[in-house]
Amino acid sequence: MLENLVGQEAAKSIIKDINSNTFPGAVLFSGAECTGKLTAALEVARVLSCNADERAHWLCECPSCLRHKALNSTNLLLMGPRDCSLEISAAKDSFIKSYRDNDSHLKATRYLFLRSIRKLTLRFSGILWEGETNLSKIAVLMEKINENLELLDFPRELPPFDETVKICGELEADSLKLESDFLYDSIPVNQVRNMEKWACIRSDEGKKTVIIENAESMQVSVRNALLKILEEPPTDCVFILLTSHRSAIMETILSRVRTYNFKNRSPEVQQDVIKRVFHNEYFHGEINEFLLTFLPVPADKVRLQAKNFFNSVIHGKIPDCAEVVKDCAGFEPRVEFKIFLNGITDCVRPVMSTMAGSEACVELSKVLRQCYENVTLYNQKVDAALESLVRDINKINVLYGKVFAGV
Protein backbone atom coordinates (compact mmCIF):
# COMPACT_ATOMS: atom_id res chain seq x y z
CA MET A 1 0.00 0.00 0.00
CA LEU A 2 1.34 3.44 -0.99
CA GLU A 3 4.52 1.82 -2.32
CA ASN A 4 4.73 4.56 -4.94
CA LEU A 5 4.66 7.40 -2.42
CA VAL A 6 8.37 8.00 -1.86
CA GLY A 7 9.80 9.89 1.12
CA GLN A 8 6.49 11.02 2.62
CA GLU A 9 5.79 10.48 6.32
CA ALA A 10 2.05 11.04 5.79
CA ALA A 11 1.91 7.57 4.23
CA LYS A 12 2.36 5.93 7.65
CA SER A 13 -0.68 7.68 9.13
CA ILE A 14 -2.82 6.93 6.09
CA ILE A 15 -1.88 3.23 6.08
CA LYS A 16 -2.48 2.94 9.82
CA ASP A 17 -5.95 4.47 9.55
CA ILE A 18 -6.95 2.31 6.58
CA ASN A 19 -5.73 -0.88 8.25
CA SER A 20 -7.60 -0.06 11.45
CA ASN A 21 -10.77 0.91 9.54
CA THR A 22 -10.61 4.43 11.00
CA PHE A 23 -9.97 6.26 7.73
CA PRO A 24 -12.76 8.89 7.64
CA GLY A 25 -15.22 9.64 4.87
CA ALA A 26 -13.71 13.07 4.18
CA VAL A 27 -10.02 13.97 4.35
CA LEU A 28 -7.68 16.76 3.28
CA PHE A 29 -4.20 16.07 1.92
CA SER A 30 -2.32 19.32 2.53
CA GLY A 31 1.16 20.17 1.32
CA ALA A 32 3.23 22.00 -1.27
CA GLU A 33 3.21 21.12 -4.97
CA CYS A 34 5.02 17.93 -5.98
CA THR A 35 4.76 16.31 -2.55
CA GLY A 36 2.78 13.29 -3.80
CA LYS A 37 -0.74 14.27 -2.74
CA LEU A 38 -2.45 13.10 -5.94
CA THR A 39 -0.36 9.91 -6.03
CA ALA A 40 -1.52 9.14 -2.48
CA ALA A 41 -5.16 9.98 -3.24
CA LEU A 42 -5.30 7.71 -6.29
CA GLU A 43 -3.68 4.89 -4.33
CA VAL A 44 -6.13 5.30 -1.44
CA ALA A 45 -8.98 5.13 -3.95
CA ARG A 46 -7.56 1.86 -5.31
CA VAL A 47 -7.15 0.29 -1.89
CA LEU A 48 -10.64 1.25 -0.68
CA SER A 49 -12.17 -0.28 -3.81
CA CYS A 50 -10.04 -3.45 -3.76
CA ASN A 51 -11.99 -6.71 -3.41
CA ALA A 52 -9.12 -9.15 -2.94
CA ASP A 53 -8.78 -11.26 0.21
CA GLU A 54 -5.45 -9.61 1.02
CA ARG A 55 -5.99 -6.18 -0.40
CA ALA A 56 -3.68 -3.19 -0.55
CA HIS A 57 -0.53 -4.31 -2.40
CA TRP A 58 0.24 -2.43 -5.63
CA LEU A 59 0.70 -5.72 -7.49
CA CYS A 60 -2.83 -6.88 -6.64
CA GLU A 61 -4.50 -8.12 -9.83
CA CYS A 62 -8.13 -8.15 -8.76
CA PRO A 63 -10.35 -6.55 -11.46
CA SER A 64 -10.96 -3.46 -9.34
CA CYS A 65 -7.25 -2.79 -8.75
CA LEU A 66 -6.42 -3.31 -12.42
CA ARG A 67 -9.03 -0.74 -13.39
CA HIS A 68 -7.75 1.72 -10.79
CA LYS A 69 -4.13 1.32 -11.85
CA ALA A 70 -5.19 2.03 -15.43
CA LEU A 71 -7.25 5.01 -14.14
CA ASN A 72 -10.46 3.81 -15.78
CA SER A 73 -12.42 2.72 -12.70
CA THR A 74 -16.10 3.59 -12.47
CA ASN A 75 -15.59 4.02 -8.72
CA LEU A 76 -13.44 7.14 -9.16
CA LEU A 77 -14.19 10.79 -9.92
CA LEU A 78 -11.37 13.33 -10.26
CA MET A 79 -12.18 17.03 -10.17
CA GLY A 80 -10.43 20.37 -10.01
CA PRO A 81 -7.89 22.38 -12.02
CA ARG A 82 -4.40 21.07 -12.70
CA ASP A 83 -1.53 21.80 -15.08
CA CYS A 84 -1.29 18.32 -16.63
CA SER A 85 0.67 19.11 -19.78
CA LEU A 86 4.20 19.07 -18.35
CA GLU A 87 3.72 15.68 -16.70
CA ILE A 88 2.29 14.34 -19.97
CA SER A 89 5.32 15.64 -21.91
CA ALA A 90 7.76 14.23 -19.35
CA ALA A 91 5.97 10.86 -19.33
CA LYS A 92 5.92 10.77 -23.14
CA ASP A 93 9.66 11.44 -23.23
CA SER A 94 10.33 8.58 -20.78
CA PHE A 95 8.08 6.18 -22.69
CA ILE A 96 9.55 6.95 -26.11
CA LYS A 97 13.12 6.57 -24.83
CA SER A 98 12.28 3.23 -23.17
CA TYR A 99 10.64 1.95 -26.35
CA ARG A 100 13.53 3.14 -28.51
CA ASP A 101 16.08 1.45 -26.25
CA ASN A 102 13.85 -1.57 -25.49
CA ASP A 103 14.92 -1.30 -21.85
CA SER A 104 13.54 -2.90 -18.71
CA HIS A 105 11.44 0.16 -17.86
CA LEU A 106 9.18 -0.05 -20.92
CA LYS A 107 6.12 -1.44 -19.11
CA ALA A 108 6.47 1.11 -16.31
CA THR A 109 6.91 4.10 -18.63
CA ARG A 110 4.02 2.91 -20.78
CA TYR A 111 1.79 2.91 -17.69
CA LEU A 112 3.22 6.29 -16.72
CA PHE A 113 2.28 7.88 -20.04
CA LEU A 114 -1.21 6.38 -20.14
CA ARG A 115 -1.90 7.45 -16.55
CA SER A 116 -0.56 10.98 -17.13
CA ILE A 117 -3.16 11.54 -19.83
CA ARG A 118 -5.98 9.94 -17.85
CA LYS A 119 -5.22 12.28 -14.94
CA LEU A 120 -6.48 14.92 -17.34
CA THR A 121 -9.28 13.06 -19.14
CA LEU A 122 -10.81 11.85 -15.87
CA ARG A 123 -11.73 15.47 -15.19
CA PHE A 124 -13.95 15.37 -18.28
CA SER A 125 -16.18 12.51 -17.14
CA GLY A 126 -19.63 12.69 -18.65
CA ILE A 127 -20.98 12.41 -15.10
CA LEU A 128 -19.41 15.75 -14.15
CA TRP A 129 -20.05 17.56 -17.42
CA GLU A 130 -23.71 16.66 -17.89
CA GLY A 131 -25.58 19.79 -18.94
CA GLU A 132 -22.43 21.75 -19.91
CA THR A 133 -22.65 23.84 -23.09
CA ASN A 134 -19.24 22.68 -24.35
CA LEU A 135 -20.01 18.98 -23.98
CA SER A 136 -20.32 18.26 -27.72
CA LYS A 137 -16.98 19.93 -28.52
CA ILE A 138 -15.28 18.12 -25.66
CA ALA A 139 -16.76 14.79 -26.78
CA VAL A 140 -15.13 15.07 -30.22
CA LEU A 141 -11.69 15.71 -28.73
CA MET A 142 -12.13 13.05 -26.04
CA GLU A 143 -13.10 10.48 -28.66
CA LYS A 144 -9.89 11.11 -30.59
CA ILE A 145 -7.78 10.92 -27.40
CA ASN A 146 -9.44 7.68 -26.29
CA GLU A 147 -8.99 6.08 -29.71
CA ASN A 148 -5.26 6.82 -29.62
CA LEU A 149 -4.98 5.67 -26.00
CA GLU A 150 -6.54 2.36 -26.99
CA LEU A 151 -3.76 1.84 -29.56
CA LEU A 152 -1.17 2.06 -26.76
CA ASP A 153 -3.09 0.44 -23.92
CA PHE A 154 -2.50 -2.96 -22.35
CA PRO A 155 -2.74 -5.81 -23.30
CA ARG A 156 -2.41 -4.71 -26.94
CA GLU A 157 1.01 -5.03 -28.58
CA LEU A 158 2.58 -1.66 -29.18
CA PRO A 159 2.58 -0.38 -32.78
CA PRO A 160 5.94 -0.03 -34.56
CA PHE A 161 8.21 2.61 -33.03
CA ASP A 162 7.65 5.38 -35.62
CA GLU A 163 3.90 4.92 -35.46
CA THR A 164 4.00 4.99 -31.67
CA VAL A 165 5.95 8.25 -31.73
CA LYS A 166 3.30 9.75 -34.01
CA ILE A 167 0.45 8.57 -31.77
CA CYS A 168 2.19 9.97 -28.69
CA GLY A 169 2.66 13.32 -30.40
CA GLU A 170 -1.04 13.48 -31.27
CA LEU A 171 -2.01 12.54 -27.72
CA GLU A 172 0.27 15.24 -26.30
CA ALA A 173 -1.11 17.92 -28.64
CA ASP A 174 -4.76 16.94 -28.13
CA SER A 175 -4.32 16.78 -24.37
CA LEU A 176 -2.86 20.28 -24.35
CA LYS A 177 -5.83 21.52 -26.38
CA LEU A 178 -8.28 19.79 -24.03
CA GLU A 179 -6.62 21.36 -21.00
CA SER A 180 -6.16 24.83 -22.50
CA ASP A 181 -9.57 25.19 -24.14
CA PHE A 182 -11.91 23.44 -21.73
CA LEU A 183 -10.45 22.77 -18.25
CA TYR A 184 -11.91 25.30 -15.83
CA ASP A 185 -9.57 27.10 -13.44
CA SER A 186 -12.26 26.71 -10.79
CA ILE A 187 -14.83 23.92 -10.42
CA PRO A 188 -18.31 24.95 -11.65
CA VAL A 189 -21.05 24.50 -9.06
CA ASN A 190 -22.99 22.33 -11.53
CA GLN A 191 -20.18 19.75 -11.46
CA VAL A 192 -20.41 19.51 -7.68
CA ARG A 193 -24.15 18.89 -7.94
CA ASN A 194 -23.59 16.23 -10.61
CA MET A 195 -20.93 14.63 -8.43
CA GLU A 196 -23.28 14.57 -5.46
CA LYS A 197 -25.88 12.61 -7.43
CA TRP A 198 -23.22 10.06 -8.45
CA ALA A 199 -21.82 9.77 -4.92
CA CYS A 200 -25.25 8.88 -3.52
CA ILE A 201 -25.66 5.90 -5.88
CA ARG A 202 -24.50 2.75 -4.10
CA SER A 203 -21.38 1.05 -5.50
CA ASP A 204 -21.50 -2.56 -6.68
CA GLU A 205 -18.04 -3.28 -5.23
CA GLY A 206 -15.77 -1.45 -2.81
CA LYS A 207 -15.97 2.23 -2.01
CA LYS A 208 -16.30 5.13 -4.38
CA THR A 209 -13.79 7.97 -4.15
CA VAL A 210 -14.10 11.62 -5.14
CA ILE A 211 -10.78 13.46 -5.44
CA ILE A 212 -10.89 17.26 -5.59
CA GLU A 213 -7.56 18.80 -6.52
CA ASN A 214 -6.61 22.42 -5.70
CA ALA A 215 -9.62 22.62 -3.40
CA GLU A 216 -8.60 26.10 -2.26
CA SER A 217 -9.54 27.49 -5.69
CA MET A 218 -13.26 26.72 -5.29
CA GLN A 219 -15.63 29.68 -5.44
CA VAL A 220 -17.96 30.40 -2.49
CA SER A 221 -21.03 28.85 -4.16
CA VAL A 222 -19.03 25.68 -4.91
CA ARG A 223 -17.70 25.47 -1.36
CA ASN A 224 -21.20 25.78 0.04
CA ALA A 225 -22.50 23.09 -2.30
CA LEU A 226 -19.65 20.77 -1.29
CA LEU A 227 -20.21 21.50 2.37
CA LYS A 228 -23.70 20.05 2.20
CA ILE A 229 -22.51 16.60 1.14
CA LEU A 230 -19.54 16.68 3.54
CA GLU A 231 -21.98 17.21 6.40
CA GLU A 232 -23.63 13.85 5.65
CA PRO A 233 -21.37 11.90 3.27
CA PRO A 234 -22.70 8.64 1.78
CA THR A 235 -21.43 5.63 3.71
CA ASP A 236 -19.69 4.01 0.73
CA CYS A 237 -18.06 7.14 -0.73
CA VAL A 238 -14.84 8.83 0.42
CA PHE A 239 -13.95 12.44 -0.33
CA ILE A 240 -10.28 13.40 -0.66
CA LEU A 241 -9.54 17.10 -0.99
CA LEU A 242 -6.05 18.21 -2.04
CA THR A 243 -4.58 21.63 -1.37
CA SER A 244 -1.30 23.53 -1.38
CA HIS A 245 -2.87 26.32 0.69
CA ARG A 246 -4.73 24.95 3.70
CA SER A 247 -5.30 28.46 5.07
CA ALA A 248 -7.48 29.22 2.03
CA ILE A 249 -9.92 26.39 2.83
CA MET A 250 -13.17 27.39 4.57
CA GLU A 251 -13.16 26.72 8.31
CA THR A 252 -16.50 24.95 8.00
CA ILE A 253 -14.93 22.52 5.51
CA LEU A 254 -11.80 22.07 7.64
CA SER A 255 -14.00 21.11 10.58
CA ARG A 256 -15.47 18.24 8.53
CA VAL A 257 -12.25 16.68 7.23
CA ARG A 258 -9.22 15.01 8.78
CA THR A 259 -5.99 16.61 7.58
CA TYR A 260 -2.92 14.63 6.56
CA ASN A 261 0.09 16.90 6.14
CA PHE A 262 2.51 16.25 3.28
CA LYS A 263 5.98 17.65 3.98
CA ASN A 264 8.46 19.06 1.49
CA ARG A 265 10.82 16.29 0.43
CA SER A 266 14.58 16.78 0.49
CA PRO A 267 16.40 17.44 -2.80
CA GLU A 268 17.91 13.95 -2.58
CA VAL A 269 14.49 12.31 -2.20
CA GLN A 270 13.08 14.38 -5.06
CA GLN A 271 15.92 13.23 -7.31
CA ASP A 272 15.12 9.68 -6.28
CA VAL A 273 11.47 10.26 -7.29
CA ILE A 274 12.55 11.56 -10.71
CA LYS A 275 14.78 8.52 -11.14
CA ARG A 276 12.08 6.03 -10.06
CA VAL A 277 9.11 7.59 -11.85
CA PHE A 278 10.61 9.09 -15.01
CA HIS A 279 13.72 6.89 -15.12
CA ASN A 280 15.96 9.93 -15.56
CA GLU A 281 19.32 9.51 -13.86
CA TYR A 282 20.91 12.69 -15.18
CA PHE A 283 18.73 15.54 -13.91
CA HIS A 284 19.82 17.02 -10.57
CA GLY A 285 17.18 19.25 -9.07
CA GLU A 286 13.65 19.34 -7.70
CA ILE A 287 10.63 17.68 -9.33
CA ASN A 288 9.05 20.99 -10.29
CA GLU A 289 12.30 22.12 -11.94
CA PHE A 290 12.47 18.84 -13.86
CA LEU A 291 8.93 19.26 -15.20
CA LEU A 292 9.67 22.84 -16.24
CA THR A 293 12.37 21.55 -18.61
CA PHE A 294 9.50 20.33 -20.81
CA LEU A 295 8.07 23.80 -21.39
CA PRO A 296 8.04 24.85 -25.06
CA VAL A 297 9.64 28.14 -23.96
CA PRO A 298 12.21 27.87 -21.13
CA ALA A 299 11.03 29.28 -17.81
CA ASP A 300 14.03 31.63 -17.59
CA LYS A 301 13.14 33.16 -20.95
CA VAL A 302 9.53 33.70 -19.82
CA ARG A 303 10.76 35.36 -16.61
CA LEU A 304 13.05 37.61 -18.66
CA GLN A 305 10.10 38.57 -20.86
CA ALA A 306 8.17 39.45 -17.68
CA LYS A 307 11.03 41.61 -16.39
CA ASN A 308 11.36 43.46 -19.70
CA PHE A 309 7.58 43.92 -19.89
CA PHE A 310 7.41 45.37 -16.37
CA ASN A 311 10.44 47.64 -16.84
CA SER A 312 8.94 49.03 -20.04
CA VAL A 313 5.68 49.88 -18.29
CA ILE A 314 7.18 51.62 -15.26
CA HIS A 315 9.48 53.69 -17.48
CA GLY A 316 6.64 55.03 -19.57
CA LYS A 317 6.96 52.76 -22.58
CA ILE A 318 4.14 50.68 -24.03
CA PRO A 319 5.27 47.09 -24.63
CA ASP A 320 4.13 45.27 -27.75
CA CYS A 321 1.79 42.78 -26.05
CA ALA A 322 1.20 40.78 -29.21
CA GLU A 323 4.95 40.34 -29.63
CA VAL A 324 5.30 39.24 -25.99
CA VAL A 325 2.62 36.60 -26.53
CA LYS A 326 4.36 35.43 -29.71
CA ASP A 327 7.77 35.20 -28.01
CA CYS A 328 6.20 33.09 -25.25
CA ALA A 329 4.55 30.70 -27.75
CA GLY A 330 1.07 31.93 -26.95
CA PHE A 331 1.57 31.10 -23.26
CA GLU A 332 0.61 27.50 -23.89
CA PRO A 333 0.50 25.52 -21.70
CA ARG A 334 -1.12 27.88 -19.22
CA VAL A 335 1.66 27.37 -16.68
CA GLU A 336 3.76 29.64 -18.95
CA PHE A 337 1.36 32.50 -18.14
CA LYS A 338 1.65 31.77 -14.41
CA ILE A 339 5.44 31.94 -14.67
CA PHE A 340 5.19 35.25 -16.55
CA LEU A 341 2.91 36.86 -13.94
CA ASN A 342 4.99 35.47 -11.07
CA GLY A 343 8.01 36.99 -12.82
CA ILE A 344 6.39 40.42 -12.48
CA THR A 345 5.85 39.75 -8.78
CA ASP A 346 9.55 38.92 -8.43
CA CYS A 347 10.41 42.30 -9.98
CA VAL A 348 8.79 44.30 -7.16
CA ARG A 349 10.22 42.43 -4.19
CA PRO A 350 12.88 45.14 -3.54
CA VAL A 351 10.19 47.77 -2.75
CA MET A 352 8.19 45.62 -0.32
CA SER A 353 10.23 46.92 2.64
CA THR A 354 8.63 50.40 2.44
CA MET A 355 5.07 51.30 3.42
CA ALA A 356 4.17 52.67 0.00
CA GLY A 357 5.94 49.78 -1.72
CA SER A 358 4.12 47.20 0.38
CA GLU A 359 0.72 48.74 -0.34
CA ALA A 360 1.52 49.02 -4.04
CA CYS A 361 2.52 45.36 -4.15
CA VAL A 362 -0.78 44.35 -2.57
CA GLU A 363 -2.64 46.22 -5.31
CA LEU A 364 -0.36 44.73 -7.95
CA SER A 365 -1.07 41.20 -6.75
CA LYS A 366 -4.79 41.90 -7.17
CA VAL A 367 -4.47 43.06 -10.78
CA LEU A 368 -2.13 40.16 -11.62
CA ARG A 369 -4.70 37.73 -10.26
CA GLN A 370 -7.43 39.49 -12.22
CA CYS A 371 -5.31 39.32 -15.37
CA TYR A 372 -4.87 35.56 -14.93
CA GLU A 373 -8.58 35.03 -14.30
CA ASN A 374 -9.52 37.16 -17.32
CA VAL A 375 -7.65 34.65 -19.47
CA THR A 376 -8.41 31.37 -17.69
CA LEU A 377 -11.96 32.00 -16.44
CA TYR A 378 -13.37 34.52 -18.90
CA ASN A 379 -11.50 33.45 -22.06
CA GLN A 380 -10.05 36.88 -22.78
CA LYS A 381 -7.22 36.83 -25.31
CA VAL A 382 -3.83 37.05 -23.62
CA ASP A 383 -2.65 40.12 -25.52
CA ALA A 384 -5.84 41.98 -24.56
CA ALA A 385 -5.37 40.94 -20.91
CA LEU A 386 -1.78 42.22 -20.99
CA GLU A 387 -2.89 45.53 -22.49
CA SER A 388 -5.27 45.97 -19.55
CA LEU A 389 -2.45 44.98 -17.20
CA VAL A 390 -0.25 47.73 -18.64
CA ARG A 391 -2.87 50.32 -17.72
CA ASP A 392 -3.38 48.82 -14.25
CA ILE A 393 0.35 48.80 -13.45
CA ASN A 394 0.64 52.42 -14.60
CA LYS A 395 -2.24 53.48 -12.35
CA ILE A 396 -0.74 51.74 -9.31
CA ASN A 397 2.70 53.19 -9.96
CA VAL A 398 1.36 56.74 -10.25
CA LEU A 399 -0.97 56.37 -7.25
CA TYR A 400 1.93 55.36 -5.00
CA GLY A 401 4.40 57.99 -6.13
CA LYS A 402 6.08 55.94 -8.84
CA VAL A 403 7.37 53.57 -6.19
CA PHE A 404 8.14 50.89 -8.79
CA ALA A 405 10.65 53.13 -10.58
CA GLY A 406 13.32 52.07 -8.11
CA VAL A 407 13.21 48.35 -8.88
* Cα within 13 Å of Cα(286), Cβ side: 10
- Which residues have C-beta within 8 Å of that of residue 387, sequence separation ≥ 6? 321
Question: Mapping DSSP to helix (H, G, I), strand (E, B) and coil, where does residue 262 land?
Answer: strand
Question: Mapping DSSP to helix (H, G, I), strand (E, B) and coil, where does residue 7 land?
Answer: coil
Model confidence pTM above 0.85: yes
- Which residues have C-beta within 8 Å of that of residue 11, sequence separation ≥ 6? 2, 5, 40
What pLDDT, on a 0 to 100 scale, did the predictor assign at position 51? 83
Note down pLDDT in tens along the chain; length 407 residues. 888 888 899 999 999 999 999 999 999 999 999 999 999 999 999 999 998 877 667 888 899 999 999 999 999 999 999 999 999 999 999 999 999 999 999 999 999 999 999 999 999 999 999 988 888 999 999 999 999 999 999 999 999 999 999 999 999 999 999 999 999 888 999 999 999 999 999 888 889 999 999 999 998 999 999 998 998 889 899 999 999 999 999 999 999 999 999 999 999 999 999 999 999 999 999 999 999 999 999 999 999 999 999 999 999 999 999 999 999 999 999 999 999 999 999 999 999 989 999 999 999 999 999 999 999 888 899 999 999 999 999 999 999 999 998 77
Judge residue 302's burial from the number of C-beta atoms within 10 Å of its C-beta, 0-12 exposed, 13-18 middle, 19 or more buried: buried
Q: Which of 196, 153, 179 lies closest to 88, judged by CA?
A: 179
What pLDDT, on a 0 to 100 scale, did the predictor assign at position 55? 63
Judge residue 59's burial from the number of C-beta atoms within 10 Å of its C-beta, 0-12 exposed, 13-18 middle, 19 or more buried: exposed
Strand arrangement of the beta sheet that strand 208-212 belongs to: 76-79, 208-212, 237-243, 26-31, 258-262
Question: Mapping DSSP to helix (H, G, I), strand (E, B) and coil, where does residue 237 land?
Answer: strand
Question: Mapping DSSP to helix (H, G, I), strand (E, B) and coil, where does residue 209 land?
Answer: strand
In whole angstroms, give the CA distance from residue 139 to residue 30: 33
What pLDDT, on a 0 to 100 scale, did the predictor assign at position 77? 98
For 147-174, give the DSSP string. Answer: HHHHHHSTTSPPPPHHHHHHHHHHHHHH
What pLDDT, on a 0 to 100 scale, did the predictor assign at position 89? 98
Query: CA of 22: how far to CAs of 13, 19, 56, 153, in Å?
Result: 11, 8, 15, 36
- Please, what's the b/e burial string for 253-264 (b: 16 or more CB within 10 A of its CB; e: otherwise)? beebbebbebee
